[in-house]
Amino acid sequence: MIEVVSAERCVTCDKCVLACPTNVFDLGPDRIPVIARQSDCQTCFLCEAYCPADALFVAPHAHPEPAGSPLRDERHLAAAGLLGSYRREIGWGHGRTLGASLAIGPDVLPGFGRPAAPATASPATAPPSPERHDR
Amino acid sequence: MTTADTRSPAIADLTADVFVAGGGPAATWAALAAAEAGADVVLADKGYCGTSGATAAGGTGVWYVPPHPAEREKAKASREALGGYLADRRWMDRVLDQTYANVNELAGVGRYPFPIGADGAQIRRGVQGPEYMRRMRIRVQRAGVRILDHSPVLELLADASGAVAGVAGIRRQLDTGYRVRAGAVVLATGGCAFLSSALGTNVDTGDGALFAAEAGAELSGMEFSNAYAIAPAFTSVTKTAYYSYATFFHADGTVLDGAGSTKGRSVIARTLMAEGAVLCQIDRASEEVQRQMRAGQPNFFLPFDRLGIDPFTQKFPVTLLAEGTVRGTGGIRIAGDDCSTSVPGLYAAGDAATRELICGGFTGGGSHNAAWAMSSGSWAGAAAARHATALGATARRREIRPLGEAGLRPAGTPGDPGQYREVVAAVQEQVLPYEKNYLRHGERLRPALDSLDATWTALRAGLRGSGAERFRAREAAAMAAHARWMYHSALARTETRGMHKRADFPEQDPAQHHRLLTGGLDTVWVAPESASAVEVAS
């Protein structure tokens, strides 16, 4: 769930308020977004992707972090390189290569409750097959 | 924020030729197709068009198969048996053609940056969710579509003949109402995952199915509603495919036999129920595969990187999250090739509609789902535009009446506005547990359905929300309705077919080789699709 809005980093662009699909943020009295409805957060990480200032952090747990958790500690997260890490991975932001253009996943192995991925190119010339994965 | 339900909020009155409910792939392709057909389009999403729904938060393969006869044949045959032979090859052909065209369009005018393969050609068989959906939003905006974000639909409006004539909803960030008079409405609101937190699905509460049923439309395949996906325990990241490289273990570290094979997920479910924990390690991925996984699905690694777990060398606990009819194939029944429903002026697309036409009773990965979303969206949008054009100016002169009932206009005295939370909890208690929904048995389905019927009766009498959050009560009602259609259908299908597996009827029964339709709200009915209905659908 969303745990951190860094007032220090925030550029008050309000993009997170708009882009959050479950409307978790409100504007605070100083115009910096606040986490108004954390329980509505669906832990989809998309607010981070849309934040141009790397000011947000979504902990991967689908429940709130307990007091004292390092995943609520902005300084720890910054030092660990976690602030803005999702945005970096998908290549959003000036000067980066879009992750979508590099997204060639591995073949998905057959036999896991699904059939083998149907081949759509002849084996001799087939490039690595992007995954057919669950959403 | 005002929450007093006595206040009458400001209402914005809009008109459009076509109204699209939803903001994911099906909705955006529908809006584009309608706009390209010359229609004036309004699209409203409960959240934000571009981040809402299962696709935006993840990534998905696409059923993109070049039009070579042998490849197409192989693609069509690949899942027919798994789907219980309820799919329709003519629909598969149509979806394969439309998907091929749409993906090529996405690469062309949509400028989607597909990766380049070793042969120098773009690989167009998968899309990254955030990138795909931000580009679809841009395309929709540039087509002149008016987008209302954070604007959940509350109900459909109909004319005197019963034809759908618009919608009413709320703009939750403004705390105002809106009403759109439209010549036609496309429901592309997604499936229903019962607020399980499976990645990106908490906006998918089955609202469109409730609206459709209130207008008199039917549903189909609602027994195919028990998809569960693997996620690291206590997280939301449901990316089952990469677990084909995993080994599963009991809590004591011994290998869990059978997990990871064809019946892998039910073994995991049984072990979670019996022992409380299942561990996993993605120990069959070479270094090259590990690198490809990171490139292919960066969000797969978010939980691991943030919790300090190396999934390739360390064991971590996993869980199964319900995906209901998001990945299950049931939904609003499609009555014609143009994705019309049986109600004039009402169209359905994407996960809100049944996907049985191309998948039967099973879907594995997202590829068919993504193909269905873009194809059905394009057809529904174009057909809605034609319908609106045919109505012309009469569409705006129609007398309209609202159709919303459960959660909006209770039959009795309205209860506490927070009552929706109890309804959600009561529904989740019947549809999330593996022993009720996943590992189905009549002895467990029947009492679960009794409980859901009682929940429905109570909410019908008194559930009503208030203020900007009053769509919550509608979501709760939609989930309850969805669950009842699911279990009525699951009890009626006394066999095992597709993803619907009955422990008390473990075999496929040739006499039940038909789709099951369902519908109704206070009284739910289930009936085999009749011969004439099959003709319409195929």
At B146-157, the pLDDT tens digits run: 999 999 999 999
How sure is the predictor about B365, in pLDDT bands with cuts at 50, 70 and 90? low
Q: Which of A60, A120, A134 is closest, CB to CB, to B240?
A: A134
Residue A132: is its pLDDT beyond 50?
no
State the Cα–Cα distance between residues B502 and B411, nearest whole angstrom. Answer: 36
pLDDT per position as a tens digit, B8-22? 557 799 999 999 999
Q: Are strands B316-323 and B153-158 parallel, antiparallel or unpaired?
A: unpaired
pLDDT per position as a tens digit, B310-364? 999 999 999 999 999 999 999 999 999 999 999 999 999 999 999 999 999 998 6
Which residues in B lie closer than 8 A to residue A122 (C-beta atoms)? none
Residue B472: is its pLDDT beyond 90?
yes
Residue of A nearest to B126 (CA): A130
Residue A122: is its pLDDT beyond 80?
no
State the Cα–Cα distance between residues B118 and A97, nearest whole angstrom. Answer: 19
State the Cα–Cα distance between residues B6 and A34, nearest whole angstrom. Answer: 28
Nearest-5° angle of CA A85, CA A40, CA B422? Answer: 150
Nearest to B390 by CA among B345, B329, B453: B345
Q: Give the burial class of A29: count Cβ atoms within 10 A of its Cβ; 0-12 exposed, 13-18 middle, 19 or more buried.
A: exposed
Q: Say yes or no for a CB contact (<8 Å) between B242 and A131.
A: yes
Which tops the pLDDT comparison, B259 or B261?
B259
State the Cα–Cα distance between residues B477 and B410, nearest whole angstrom. Answer: 11
**Could you give the 3-state DSSP secondary structure of residue B14?**
strand
State the Cα–Cα distance between residues B298 and B434, nearest whole angstrom. Answer: 29
Q: What is the mean pLDDT of residues B103-129?
A: 96
**What is the CATH architecture of B11-225+325-402?**
3-Layer(bba) Sandwich (3.50)
* Site of tokens 């979504």: A58
Residue B270: is its pLDDT beyond 70?
yes
Q: Which of A63, A118, A128 is closest, CB to CB, to B74?
A: A118
Backbone angles phi, psi at B294, to 5 degrees: -65, -40
Q: Say yes or no for a CB contact (<8 Å) between A101 and B114.
A: yes
Residue B261: is its pLDDT beyond 60?
no
Q: Is A96 on the interface with B (CB under 8 A)?
A: no
Contact B515, B334 (CB under 8 A): no
Q: Say yes or no for a CB contact (<8 Å) between A132 and B295.
A: no
Among 3.90.700.10, 3.40.50.10420, 3.40.50.2300, 3.30.420.590, what is the CATH number of B227-323?
Answer: 3.90.700.10
CB count within 10 Å of CB B443 equals: 8
Residue B27: is its pLDDT beyond 90?
yes
State the Cα–Cα distance between residues B14 and B182, nearest whole angstrom. Answer: 9
CB count within 10 Å of CB B274 equals: 8
How sure is the predictor about B79, in pLDDT bands with cuts at 50, 70 and 90? confident
Residue B538: is its pLDDT beyond 60?
no
Q: Which of B60, B79, B243 is closest, CB to CB, to A135?
A: B60
State the Cα–Cα distance between residues A99 and B206, nearest whole angstrom. Answer: 32
Least confident of A104-113, B130-139, B469-478, B499-508: A104-113
**Longest distance between any two alpha carbons in chain B, whole Å:** 70
Nearest-5° angle of CA B419, CA B423, CA B424? Answer: 115
Averaged confidence pLDDT in chain A: 85
pLDDT of res. B239: 83
* Site of tokens 């769509």: B471
CA distances from B292 to A102, A103, A105, A129, B183 (A): 9, 8, 5, 10, 47
How far A74 CA sits from the closest chain B CA (Å)?
13
pLDDT of res. A109: 63
Q: Say yes or no for a CB contact (<8 Å) between B131 and A90.
A: yes
State the Cα–Cα distance between residues B347 and B517, nearest whole angstrom. Answer: 17
Q: What is the mean pLDDT of residues B239-246?
A: 88
Contact B20, B330 (CB under 8 A): no
Classify the complex by whether its ipTM is higher than 0.90, answering yes or no: yes
State the Cα–Cα distance between residues B16 and B497, nearest whole angstrom. Answer: 42
How sure is the predictor about B277, in pLDDT bands with cuts at 50, 70 and 90? very high
Q: What is the mean pLDDT of residues A68-88?
A: 97
Which residues in B lie closer than 8 A to residue A111 (C-beta atoms)? 244, 260-262
Say if domain B419-537 classifies as CATH 1.20.58.100: yes
Which tops the pLDDT comparison, A120 or A3?
A3
| Per-position b or e across B173-200, b if 16+ CB within 10 A of its CB | bebebbbbbbbbbbbbbbbbbbbbbbbb
Residue A79: is its pLDDT beyond 60?
yes
How sure is the predictor about A110, in pLDDT bands with cuts at 50, 70 and 90? low
DSSP string, B69-95: HHHHHHHHHTTTTTTTT-S-HHHHHHH
> 3-class secondary structure for B164-227?
EEEEEEEECCCCEEEEEEEEEEEECCCCECCCCCCCCCCCCECHHHHHHHHHCCCEECCCCCCE
Q: Which candidate in B73, B114, B123, B205 is best for mutational testing of the A interface (most A CBs within 10 A)?
A: B123
Domain ranges of chain B: 11-225+325-402, 227-323, 419-537
- Output the six-digit token pair for B213: 């049923």
Q: Is A76 on the interface with B (CB under 8 A)?
A: no
Averaged confidence pLDDT in chain B: 94
CA distances from B356 to A32, B220, B322, B334, B398 (A): 47, 8, 19, 10, 35
Q: How much of chain B, in percent, has pLDDT values that exceed 70?
A: 96
State the Cα–Cα distance between residues B116 and B123, nearest whole angstrom. Answer: 6
Q: Give the burial class of B506: count Cβ atoms within 10 A of its Cβ; 0-12 exposed, 13-18 middle, 19 or more buried.
A: exposed
Please list the helix, strand and coil fractions of chain B in percent, rounded to the nearest 5, in that order: 40, 20, 40
pLDDT of res. B9: 55
- Which residue segments constitute the domains of chain A, with CATH numbers given? 2-99 (3.30.70.20)
pLDDT per position as a tens digit, B437-469? 999 999 999 999 999 999 999 999 999 999 888
State the Cα–Cα distance between residues B107 and B121, nearest whole angstrom. Answer: 12
Q: How much of chain A, in percent, has pLDDT values that exceed 70?
A: 80
State the Cα–Cα distance between residues A61 and A58, nearest whole angstrom. Answer: 8
How sure is the predictor about A17, in pLDDT bands with cuts at 50, 70 and 90? very high
Contact A82, B301 (CB under 8 A): no
pLDDT of res. B263: 62
Contact B480, B455 (CB under 8 A): yes
Residue B532, C-beta contacts closer than 8 angstroms, at least 6 positions apart: none
